[in-house]
Amino acid sequence: MRERTKLALFLIVFAVAYFLPIQSVRVQSAIVEAFHLLREYAREHVLFCLVPAFFIAGAISVFVSQTSVTKYFGAGAKKVLSYSIASVSGTILAVCSCTVLPLFAGIYKRGAGLGPATAFLYSGPAINILAIILTARVLGWELGIARAVGAIVFAVVIGLLMAAIYRKEEQLGTAQTVSLDSEGEKRPLWKNGLYFLTLILILIFAAWGKPRESVGFWNAIYNVHWILTGVTLLFLFLELVFWFRKDELGEWVEGTWFFTKQILPLLFAGVLVAGFLMGRPNTDSGLIPARYIADLVGGNSFKANVLASVSGALMYFATLTEVPILQGLLGSGMGKGPALALLLAGPALSLPYMLVIRSVIGTKKTVTFVILVIAMATITGMVFGAAWR
């Protein structure tokens, strides 16, 4: 079956290469746009978002015991605690969908239950506090509040549904984890906690984007974010020198490389495809003209909400870019219901994102996760659109 799949992929690639209408100006523009998006992605996200995230994922896989992960996030953990932490994690991390992937892979590999892990997977980019504030200020307070409440509820409900759908597999995995895990903590809990806090602060400060306004708290942090990054890097260096053995550091590097080689190629491939189909944000150079999407998401019909959810799920949104994009679409006649549907599906999903999580949890669970996000975003958009006509 695996060889048949490879043959089918080869045939698809051959057919695309053979019949691609390269003489079309639109196709030529889409190809160039794909590489523009890849370059933009590499420049803005790899060094200061993904690299710290890979190191955090590697640290989780090496320095966090399976006992600790399964205690708080395992299938048998207390649901109130595990889902509460997972569903609001995005307000702390403020990361985009690509950055949360290594963190998700790390905790899932270490024994987290599918429910809490997928709740974290959704909430990481969806409950970005900066994006929610920007949504409320630019698109209106009703969309800002609806996005915040909807994202938290989505994270919990999707996690619970994923755990319920794959309950038998979860129970088997829990039994195997408990039987295999007998390791103890290698250093005091407070040292591990401070070490992980330092890694997270490096990620937050290094990836701190420039705010739209030149005054205020967020801008003040931005003005010194490289200084803060340097200070936290110094703290990390001291922690590694005094608290860690040489063999542990080697294991950390190996764990980081494992997630890098698993995730980064799939992300790059997905970004290329997304750029080819949709183009970069605020451009109309992809294969699918932006006006087609704007024309089809007016009003609050079921079709408009489904299209907004599916389009958001396929498109790649860099952190905060969904807000100005939606501002333009709303000005072109997009309904508020479809706008919320796109806000709930878009930042939490993308084509590169789907390719990566498939490599972590498998095709069946990935398809289920994507369908749940799109279905809930569609229903929520219709309800919101009906209430705010």
Residue 31 lies in a domain: no
Contacts of 346 (CB under 8 A, 6+ apart): 311, 312, 313, 315, 317, 322
pLDDT tens readout for residues 47-83 = 777 788 788 878 877 776 656 666 667 666 677 777 7
Place 176 in a pLDDT band, splitting at 50, 70 and 90. Answer: very low
Closest residue by Cα to residue 351 from 313, 321, 318: 313
Biggest distance spanned by C-alpha atoms of the chain = 64
Q: Give the residue, 221 or 168, on which the prediction is more confident.
A: 221
N- to C-terminal Cα distance for the chain? Answer: 51
Average pLDDT, the chain: 78
Place 177 in a pLDDT band, splitting at 50, 70 and 90. Answer: very low
Q: How far apart are CA 12 and CA 4, in angstroms?
A: 12
Residue 25 lies in a domain: no
Share above pLDDT 90 across residues of the chain, in percent, rounded to a whole number: 8
Residue 330 lies in a domain: yes
Residue 6 lies in a domain: no
Q: Residue 332: is its pLDDT beyond 70?
A: no
pTM (whole model) above 0.85: no
Q: What is the pLDDT of residue 182?
A: 43
Residue 277 lies in a domain: yes
Residue 204 lies in a domain: yes
Residue 279 lies in a domain: yes
Q: Is 279 left (phi over 0), alpha (psi -120 to 50) or beta?
A: left
Considering its fold, how many domains does the chain have in total? 1
Closest residue by Cα to residue 74 from 114, 47, 38, 20: 114
Residue 29 lies in a domain: no
Place 183 in a pLDDT band, splitting at 50, 70 and 90. Answer: very low
Instruction: State which residues form the domain around 247.
Output: 37-387
Q: Residue 344: is its pLDDT beyond 50?
A: yes
